Amino acid sequence: MAAPNAQDLRQLYRHLYLTRALEERLERLVDQGHIAGDLCRCLGQEAIAVGSAWALEPGDWLAPSIRDLGALLVRGLEPREMLLQYMARTGSPCAGKDDANHFTDRERGLLGPIGPLGTQLCVLNGVALAFKARGERQVCMTYQGDGETRTGASHEGLAFAAALRLPMVVVIESNQWAFSTRSHREAAIDEWTDVARGYGVPAIQADGNDVIAVFEAAREAVARARSGLGLTLIVAETYRMLGHSQHDPQAYVPPEELEEWRARDPIDRFESYLLDRHETADGLARIRSVIDSRLDQAVDQALAEPLPEPETALGHVYAAPEVEPAPWTRGAPVGYPDVATSIVPTRMEPPRSL
Amino acid sequence: MAAPNAQDLRQLYRHLYLTRALEERLERLVDQGHIAGDLCRCLGQEAIAVGSAWALEPGDWLAPSIRDLGALLVRGLEPREMLLQYMARTGSPCAGKDDANHFTDRERGLLGPIGPLGTQLCVLNGVALAFKARGERQVCMTYQGDGETRTGASHEGLAFAAALRLPMVVVIESNQWAFSTRSHREAAIDEWTDVARGYGVPAIQADGNDVIAVFEAAREAVARARSGLGLTLIVAETYRMLGHSQHDPQAYVPPEELEEWRARDPIDRFESYLLDRHETADGLARIRSVIDSRLDQAVDQALAEPLPEPETALGHVYAAPEVEPAPWTRGAPVGYPDVATSIVPTRMEPPRSL
Amino acid sequence: MKETTYLEAIREALWEEMKTDESVFILGEDIGTYGGAFKITEGFLKEFGPDRVIDTPISEAAIVGAAIGAAHMGFKPVAEMQFIDFIAPAFDMIVNFAAKVRYRTGVGAGLVIRGPCGGGARAGPFHSQNVESYFANVPGLKMVAPATARDAKGLLRAAIRDPDPVLYFEHKFLYRRIKEELPTDEEILVPIGEARTHRPGNDLTLITYGAPLYKAEEAAERVAEEDGAQIEVIDLRSLRPLDIETLVESVRRTHRALIVHEAPRFGGFAGEITAQLCEEAFEWLDAPIRRVTAIDTPVPYSPPLEDYHLPQMEDIVTAARWLLSY
Amino acid sequence: MKETTYLEAIREALWEEMKTDESVFILGEDIGTYGGAFKITEGFLKEFGPDRVIDTPISEAAIVGAAIGAAHMGFKPVAEMQFIDFIAPAFDMIVNFAAKVRYRTGVGAGLVIRGPCGGGARAGPFHSQNVESYFANVPGLKMVAPATARDAKGLLRAAIRDPDPVLYFEHKFLYRRIKEELPTDEEILVPIGEARTHRPGNDLTLITYGAPLYKAEEAAERVAEEDGAQIEVIDLRSLRPLDIETLVESVRRTHRALIVHEAPRFGGFAGEITAQLCEEAFEWLDAPIRRVTAIDTPVPYSPPLEDYHLPQMEDIVTAARWLLSY
Ligand SMILES: Cc1ncc(C[n+]2csc(CCOP(=O)(O)OP(=O)(O)O)c2C)c(N)n1
Ligand SMILES: Cc1ncc(C[n+]2csc(CCOP(=O)(O)OP(=O)(O)O)c2C)c(N)n1
Ligand SMILES: [Mg+2]
Ligand SMILES: [Mg+2]
């Protein structure tokens, strides 16, 4: 895959901005009570997902972590789908049965993560195994938080991919924090590239706030995977600019660190990079306003979508037949909140999930 | 702890020989049908367990892997106990409820492993945590097979010990095989010391067939742990000279490799080391014959011990009270083999467990 | 007396036990600096220091393993699972190590594993599960599931003092919704293995635990008002050991039994209760033992789907009426 | 016809499915070079090559994970657990990923996880467990436990072709002890979800699965000879889905039910069977549903202890007589 041309650069910019602008809409929808679930933002980390996914080709598979909205957009996800997903409406990728980016799409080669960390790499290994068995040249790319690398599943997944020389690229998002815990304290290591040593695979260090640097690292790693050389780790240094999720004001984060990293904002940096070249401030402003108005439209459309029919909760546990509800367990559509005489408040407070 | 004097060296020799001679007795007892369970021998690896355990002090804890009989003997286990354990007799460390080295002894600081690999390190971490919390200077030592390092539990245990700077020494027994699988193929790494890099801790490479070399490495690692510097990995290179267990003729092992390693037998090597110094062939022969006759006595005593009373199967599931057998589930002492009219043969074939 | 939420009750039991017993300590993810995802251990790090309030890496197996080892050394560890769903990666460590170690070696592991369970919080399939059945067939474990603030406090205290491994399931839906006046002077201690008659009655025995208790109570009130029948609502509190005596006494008196739990139906805990009641009270039964549970699916995220998945008050009323008119 | 052991039947089903369907492959520890700890896949590597017979690192979670991903891609993976006890480290992957993925995303995971279960082999607490109850409350999973060579072959074939995740429990005690004449010309396929009446009778319904089937059969013969009563022995074969229709038909006819399984009693699979029978056949019951199971302890190693732990033929006879004379 060639170096990005002017056209590509503009696309990269679009996706970086789209990622941030979409998450801002999602945050507003949470505040307005339209999203019952939780939201984990990737503010300040957009370049990692966008730059890495940009190195993939059609037919490749990608498994995002919770902070890789940008990668999904690069791989063809419609903002509308993401809005419906979070708002749990009919026609959302999970038909309301799961939230966030927990959906899998064989056509677009997207594998959704699940709650327990470290697991999606193990499953993506199977996709890579399939490519290998069929002699296809497709590759797989996935992401792990720095804290996530401490899970047993992450280790088994990396060791398995390394031992079987699977066409796999794993991007470690070194954003300095695992929820409220200093990742370096958690991991007792300073050089994240050292993690790769334990698996006998190469690692590439990349500035996670420089979309071009991430893309270059990913391009190299993808090329290795495609040519049968197996797993490469990419360690992308960055910083989590907001709390772990909507429920975390991150009081534990030193303001000066945020200051320091705000100066390295990946979108600001890429803007000046573009302005130093062929782009104009007006040009970029036009790109942003197009995206903004499209997103506002998408939000209005999504809000108009209905919630799924209660009975659809029964579907697709097995290929066939549908589950039959046992007597009296068909749960009336009204739940706790609407039971007026209930000992619980009639309005749901937002869930405190992570 | 000081370098071994003549006295220590003779003790090391005793334990090396005792380990091998005891396992030979156990193997015979398996063949004679006195041991229902399985046996994993450490032939050719004796120096690792003996040399490393020798670096510990009273009050330290040790958690052996299945091939560390020598470490248990160094830490005060009586051969008689081991015989009773394998033969599942009354008065065995597990009172017949578990086999092999699966016993825990708080007095002697021994923590038994369980079937699932990688787990005992995680538990030993808790012992180290207790030392640390109490400000005690004791340390913990445990062992992992090279294949075992691929388990999620092993990774979580190492990462946890590293992150919390626990007084821990982990000896990786690099015996080239994980059952029938080439460990290097399984792990895709050549330098096992690299594993330590992923946890930000130091590793020491040691010739696993040289008891003095292992001891020196252990002494250094134990000193680090005792002085509060945390986890050290020791990578002991060796070779598994027999099948994985009694059921494995290891047809998959290239004879020339066995030849090559037989020449490095840790006991032969240590004998010539001693003969080059102050010991005589007669002296060593006398040591061996004393051990042999003691062991033969121990075997006869153990064989005289009864099997446990069936009802004792009920005891100690909880601290109190004892489990009461439900109606008709008090299992008559006669089992499958003795049920004459059974469709199953009246003699048990040996179990095929690992 | 002091008004105490279910969450505060848990927090107080932990705090007081740590105050009075040096050997009690807590470990888990983000329980120190952050005070826990639900803020149960907020302020603990400051009060008890990093040796007794241990922030760990994301590694549930290592967390439980360390708790076992520390218990061997005489400590009383309380391990937090950020969500009880994440007990799954520690399954091996719990089932094969913690549960079996006393039986195998004579050395016990008195530890507590606690975490938020249950649905209704719009938290999706991985932050809403009820996991008791995964562990029900594992000898060596104890399991408790408090529904009131008093029981939350008293059972956690008992669990910490228990010499065996106890799984403590706290229902996240109740954290801030349940309040109760609790005495500040006396020590609240609820023995493990004793059920509680939440509402007396002689016409039907309704057996439940955790959050559904309140739907059961509501249903009982409704049936009392509209049908004049008195449902005896029994809150199990402890799942293992199971207080079968209390259940049998009640069922022999009411001749009818309805079991309600929030976990899915097939393979759910109602099975064991039914089996034991069938063994001990068969001759006294005037109607089949029935159960109201979640449907046999994962816990869906979208509110109408989750409400449909979970057992609801109306379902209990319907089931109760069916049994009463049997 | 050809005399086939239980073990050979498993081996043949695997072999034949791999022969006829390119998308079937196997993965696990030591299944290639070594042919599996019990030699079930001996010769497979030579015949099918390393792309379809994959020796993996010691990492059960990674094994199951890879099986899920490959299933997403249209493959039919069969993952071996060297002993079914070692399914525990893969618990999270099975319960939270494999079981829920179709429901959550619409993309299924048709895979098989198989391994030797059960006691009687003097293999101690970690190589003797029966794990079905750990997974019984997990919607999305199927579970089978064959007791005969024919069912071992037919159910494995059905499991491999099934579009959903199937846990296949093979009882190690039967591997070489059970033989049966099997046709070599016809394809043996046993549908998942259908129980089998192993021995007809009208006086008592005995429900079991796995190795205890043979103790049940013996007990039935004994009771027939000595008491002249005919016990109907039903081999469940499939645990989930459960063939409740067959059980209900039988119990409504015999009016008595006895459930026998090798797993411990509390929280065992007998609970779900009892609950469903109670719901569907209560009016026809002339006696309480009873169960004969292992005692509530881990599986001890020493022969007299293990024999005491496991349900024995004599226990079944005693229980049957109690029920018949009720
Ligand atoms: C097995 C497991 N344990 C705990 C959690 C709860 N949890 C969700 S995200 C998170 C922190 C993840 O940190 P990191 O991997 O660094 O990713 P980041 O949030 O920094 O992007 C935790 C502890 C989980 N999802 N899975
Ligand atoms: C979790 C788990 N999976 C599989 C096994 C079965 N098993 C027992 S020993 C062994 C091989 C261990 O190899 P290694 O760790 O190198 O130790 P070695 O036998 O070489 O000393 C396997 C696969 C197990 N005990 N635990
Ligand atoms: Mg992070
Ligand atoms: Mg090895």
D127 is catalytic: yes
Q: Cα distance from D1 to chain A (closest Cα, Å)?
A: 35
| Candidate from A88, A323, A351 with C-beta closest to C297 | A323
Q: Rounded distance, CA A344 to CA B12, Å? A: 70
User: Within a 13 Å sphere around the CA of D32, how many CA atoms are in the beta-carbon half?
Assistant: 20
Distance from CA of D204 to the nearest CA of C (A): 16
- Say how far apart CA A176 and CA A147 lie, in whole Å: 9
Q: Would you tell me which residues 126-155 of chain B have a C-beta closer than 8 angstroms to some C-beta of chain D?
A: 147-148, 150-153
Res. A328 pLDDT band, cuts 50 70 90: low
Task: Give the orientation angle of helix C270-281 with respect to helix C244-254, to 10 degrees.
Answer: 60
Distance CA C161, CA C148 (A): 20
Spatial distance between the Cα atoms of A110 and A93, rounded to a whole number of angstroms: 11
One-letter amino acid at D25 equals F
Q: For D8-40, what is each residue's pLDDT tens digit? A: 999 999 999 999 999 999 999 999 999 999 999
Contact B133 C97 (CB under 8 A): no
Omega before D241 cis (within 30°)?
A: yes
Dihedral angle over CA of C101, C102, C106, C108, nearest 10: 100
What are the residues facing B181 on neighbouring strands?
Answer: B178
Of these residues, C72, C127, C261, C309, which one is catalytic?
C127
The CA C280 to ligand 1 mean position distance, Å, reads 47
**In Å, how far are A155, B217, B351, D23 from B55, measured between CA atoms?**
31, 9, 37, 54
In what helix (H) or strand (E) does residue A177 lie, and over which residues does it extend?
A: strand A177-178
Using CA atoms, how far residue B203 sits from A272, B64, B142, B230, B239, in Å, is 46, 19, 14, 12, 20
* CA–CA min distance C241, chain A (Å): 27
Report the residue among B151, B175, B179 best suited for mutation to probe ligand 2: largest number of ligand atoms under 8 A from its CB.
Answer: B179
CB B101 within 8 A of CB C105: no
Task: Give all chains having 3 or more CB-to-CB distances under 8 Å with chain D.
Answer: A, B, C
Q: Is the pLDDT of residue D158 over 50?
A: yes
Compute the distance between CA of residue A214 and CA of residue A236 in angstroms, rounded to an integer: 7
Contacts 24+ apart (CB under 8 A), A7-13: A8/A54, A9/A274, A9/A277, A9/A279, A10/A274, A10/A279, A10/A287, A11/A54, A12/A50, A12/A51, A12/A54, A12/A211, A12/A215, A12/A270, A13/A270, A13/A271, A13/A274, A13/A279, A13/A284, A13/A287
Concatenated DSSP letters for A267-329? HHHHHHHHHTTT--HHHHHHHHHHHHHHHHHHHHHHHHSPPPPGGGGGTTSSSSSPPPPPTT-
CA-nearest residue of chain D to A315? D103
Q: Would you place residue B354 in the very low, low, confident or very high pLDDT band (cuts 50, 70, 90)?
A: very low
> In this predicted structure, what is the pLDDT of residue A327?
56
Contact B95, C106 (CB under 8 A): yes
Of the candidates C124, C292, C307, the beta carbon closest to that of A37 is on C124
pTM: 0.96
Q: How far is it, in rounded angstroms, from Cα D87 to Cα D130?
A: 11
Rounded CA separation B9/A91 (Å)? 76
Beta pairing partners, D166: D112, D142
3 state SS of A152: helix
State the residue for tokens 């309380």. C78
Which pLDDT value is given to residue B2?
79
Alpha carbons B5 and B252: distance in angstroms, whole number:
42
* Largest Cα–Cα separation, chain D: 60
As a whole number, the mean pLDDT across chain B is: 90
By Cβ distance, the residue of D34, D177, D304 closest to B333 is D304
CA B243 – CA B261 distance, rounded (Å): 14
Q: Give the span between the Cα atoms of D241 and D164, in whole angstroms.
A: 12
CA-based nearest residue in chain D for residue C263:
D137
Among B139, B179, B126, which Cα is nearest to B57's?
B139
Question: How many Å apart are CA B119 and CA B142, to the nearest integer?
Answer: 11
Count how many residues are written for chain D: 326
Instruction: Tell me which of A170, A182, A189 to substitute to probe the interface with B (most B C-beta atoms closer than 10 Å).
Output: A189
Q: Write down the H helix ranges in C106-199.
A: 132-135, 149-161
Nearest to C315 among A186, A312, A329 (CB): A329
Strands (E), chain D: 2-5, 24-28, 53-55, 76-80, 112-117, 142-144, 166-171, 179-182, 196-199, 204-208, 231-235, 238-240, 257-264, 290-294
Query: Hey, is the C-beta of A95 within 8 angstroms of any chain D C-beta?
Result: yes
Give B192's pLDDT tier (boundaries 50, 70, 90): confident
pLDDT tens, position by position, B114-169: 999 999 999 999 999 999 999 999 999 999 999 999 999 999 999 999 999 999 99
* Cα D174 → chain centroid: 11
B vs C, Cβ pairs < 8 A, gives 139
The active-site residue, picked from D127, D171, D261, D309, is D127
User: Distances in Å between the alpha carbon of D82 and those of B354, D14, D34, D92?
Assistant: 9, 16, 12, 18
Dist. CA C264–CA C272, nearest whole Å: 14
State what percent of residues in chain B have pLDDT above 70: 90
Which residue out of A45, A120, A148, A261 has the highest number of ligand 1 atoms within 8 Å of its CB and is therefore the one to mutate?
A148
Give the environment of ion ligand 3: residues with CB less than 5 A: A 145-147, 175, 178
The predicted-structure confidence for B292-339, as pLDDT tens digits, reads as follows 999 999 999 999 999 999 999 998 999 986 666 665 555 432 222 222
Under an 8 A CB cutoff, do C92 and D95 touch?
no
**pLDDT score of D204:** 98
Within 8 A of B125 by CB-CB distance, chain C residues are 62, 65-66, 69
| CA dist., res. C124 & res. C115, Å (int) | 16
What's the CA dihedral at D281, D284, D285, D289 to 10 degrees? -20
- Decide if D117 contacts D123 (C-beta within 8 A): no
CA-based nearest residue in chain D for residue C266:
D137
Half-sphere exposure of B200 toward its Cβ, with a 13 Å CA cutoff? 21
Query: Residue A139, Cβ neighbours under 10 Å: how many?
Result: 27
Interval between CA D23 and ligand 3 midpoint (Å)? 38
ipTM of the complex: 0.96
Where on the phi/psi map is residue B174: left (φ > 0), alpha (ψ -120 to 50), or beta?
Answer: beta
Q: pLDDT, tens digit, for every residue of A173-223?
A: 999 999 999 987 766 777 788 899 999 999 999 999 999 999 999 999 999
Q: How far is the CA of A72 from the centre of ligand 1 (A)?
A: 20
Between helix A281-304 and helix A6-31 the angle, nearest 10°, is: 40
Ligand 2 centroid – CA B178 distance (Å)? 6
State the amino acid at position D177 in one-letter form.
R
Q: Which amino acid is at B251?
A: A
**Which residues contact residue A303 at a Cβ distance below 8 angstroms, ignoring those fewer than 6 apart?**
A34, A87
What is the overall mean pLDDT for chain D?
97
Chain D closest-CA separation from residue C107 CA (Å): 15
- For the stretch B84-99, pLDDT in tens is 999 999 999 999 999 9
For chain A, counts of helices (H) and of strands (E): 12, 7
Task: List beta partners, residue A235.
Answer: A172, A205
In this predicted model, what pLDDT tens digit does every residue of D222-278 receive, in sequence order?
Answer: 999 999 999 999 999 999 999 999 999 999 999 999 999 999 999 999 999 999 999
DSSP at C131: -
Cα C123 off chain centre by: 19
Q: Among B148, B156, B181, B252, name the best residue to mutate to test ligand 2's pocket (greatest count of ligand atoms within 8 A of Cβ).
A: B148
Contact across the interface for A188 and B159, Cβ inside 8 Å: yes
Q: How far apart are CA B186 and CA C30, in angstroms?
A: 34
What DSSP string describes B202-267?
A: -EEEEETT-HHHHHHHHHHHHHHHHTT---EEEEEE----S-SSTT---TTS-HHHHHHHHTT-HH
- CB–CB contact A151 B152 (8 Å): yes
Written as tens digits, the pLDDT of chain C (326 aa) is 999 999 999 999 999 999 999 999 999 999 999 999 999 999 999 999 999 999 999 999 999 999 999 999 999 999 999 999 999 999 999 999 999 999 999 999 999 999 999 999 999 999 999 999 999 999 999 999 999 999 999 999 999 999 999 999 999 999 999 999 999 999 999 999 999 999 999 999 999 999 999 999 999 999 999 999 999 999 999 999 999 999 999 999 999 999 999 999 999 999 999 999 999 999 999 999 999 999 999 999 999 999 999 999 999 999 999 999 99
Note whether C315 contacts A102, CB cutoff 8 Å.
no
Q: Report the separation in Å between the CA atom of A118 and the middle of ligand 2, taken as the mean of its atom positions.
A: 22
